[in-house]
């Protein structure tokens, strides 16, 4: 141990490898890796270039041989997806699928949700539905923290509701009922944002314009409370589509400016002038 302490953050050598083999990574490092890989973490609000740089620092031994590897892979896949680099994203997601069995239920859900989103975008709705059903089964895992269980539940509802909104014919009332069934005030900004942003989209489809705009504004407020810049952009962009023309333009400009700071190609497309 004295020899390892003298090495500080350098290579631990054979002694370090033995310790990792028998004791594994410290729990604190595993929690950090999860934070780097989760869509609903504050790390996901950093500019994509910075996220990629930080993830690359973790994409090496001894992390690669540990259960944390799946978190780094799915985090990389998420960033690449956000940047519109789909082929590279799919390669990373495949790596995450190979290593996720050792990483726990939360990492498994992260991989499934990203895969389901990609399947939905390419029209493979049956494959997406199977992945989402597996996520639902994992929500009861005893190892999940309560805050993560709420976040994954909200994300699951968001993806399923999207399918109902874009089915033939669309089913906005059914999608709205799913969002209404989520807890209304959890105190967790991401969860509360996801509920209200989803409700706003459904209310808009149902022709309830004033309620939709109020829900979009509330979603933006929840995102702001949590410092969730990416979520705030989504809420502002939605509010811009629902507001009167004079207010809409100001909201769109704010959303576009924030999206540019995040280097998020998906959000930049959403907030571009029509």
* pLDDT reported for residue 270: 85
**Average pLDDT, stretch 22-43?**
87
Mind listing the pLDDT tens digit for each residue in 146-205?
999 999 999 999 999 999 999 999 999 999 999 999 999 899 999 999 999 999 999 999
* pLDDT reported for residue 10: 52
Give percent above pLDDT 90 in the chain.
79
* DSSP 8-state assignment for residue 88: H
Which of 74-78, 131-135, 262-266 shows the lowest per-residue confidence on average (mean pLDDT)?
A: 262-266
Give the pTM. 0.89
In three-state form (DSSP H/G/I as H, E/B as E, the rest C), the secondary structure along 22-64 is HHCCCHHHHHHHHHHHCCCCHHHHCCHHHHHHHHHHHCCCCHH
| Res. 269 pLDDT band, cuts 50 70 90 | confident
Identify which has the larger pLDDT, 24 or 198: 198
Distance CA 73, CA 80 (A): 11
Contact predicate 233/239, CB 8 Å: no
- Provide CB contacts within 8 A for 116, sequence distance 6+: 127, 128, 131, 132, 135, 159
Q: Does the pLDDT value for residue 120 go beyond 80? A: yes
Contact predicate 63/69, CB 8 Å: yes
Mind listing the pLDDT tens digit for each residue in 200-243?
999 999 999 999 999 999 999 999 999 999 999 999 999 999 99
Alpha helices in 83-104 (DSSP H): 86-99
Nearest to 263 by CA among 81, 41, 42, 47: 47
Mind listing the pLDDT tens digit for each residue in 141-151?
999 999 999 99
Distance CA 38, CA 32 (A): 10
| Res. 264 pLDDT band, cuts 50 70 90 | confident
Distance CA 68, CA 265 (A): 27
Phi and psi at residue 25, to the nearest 5°: -70, 150
Identify which has the larger pLDDT, 142 or 10: 142
Distance CA 210, CA 144 (A): 37
Distance CA 197, CA 234 (A): 8
């Amino acid at each position: 141990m004295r020899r390892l302490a003298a090495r500080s953050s350098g290579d631990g050598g054979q002694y370090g490898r033995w310790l990792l083999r028998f004791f594994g990574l410290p729990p604190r490092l595993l929690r950090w890796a999860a934070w780097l890989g989760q869509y609903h973490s504050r790390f996901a609000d950093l500019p994509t270039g910075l996220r990629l740089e930080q993830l690359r620092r973790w994409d090496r031994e001894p992390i690669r041989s540990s259960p944390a590897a799946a978190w780094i892979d799915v985090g990389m896949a998420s960033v690449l997806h956000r940047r519109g680099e789909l082929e590279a994203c799919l390669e990373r997601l495949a790596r995450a699928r190979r290593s996720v069995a050792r990483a726990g239920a939360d990492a498994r859900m992260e991989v499934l949700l990203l895969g389901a989103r990609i399947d939905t975008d390419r029209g493979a709705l049956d494959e997406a539905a199977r992945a989402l059903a597996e996520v639902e089964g994992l929500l009861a895992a005893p190892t999940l923290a309560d805050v993560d269980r709420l976040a994954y539940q909200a994300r699951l509802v968001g993806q399923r509701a999207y399918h109902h909104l874009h089915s033939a014919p669309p089913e906005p009332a059914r999608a709205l009922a799913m969002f209404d069934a989520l807890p209304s005030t959890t105190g967790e900004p991401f969860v509360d944002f996801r509920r209200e942003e989803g409700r706003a989209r459904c209310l808009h489809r149902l022709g309830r314009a004033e309620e939709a705009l109020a829900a979009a504004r509330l979603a933006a407020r929840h995102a702001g409370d949590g410092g969730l810049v990416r979520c705030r952009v989504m809420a502002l962009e939605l509010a811009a589509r629902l507001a009167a023309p004079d207010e809409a333009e100001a909201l769109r400009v704010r959303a576009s400016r924030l999206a540019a700071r995040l280097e998020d190609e998906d959000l930049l497309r959403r907030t571009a002038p029509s």
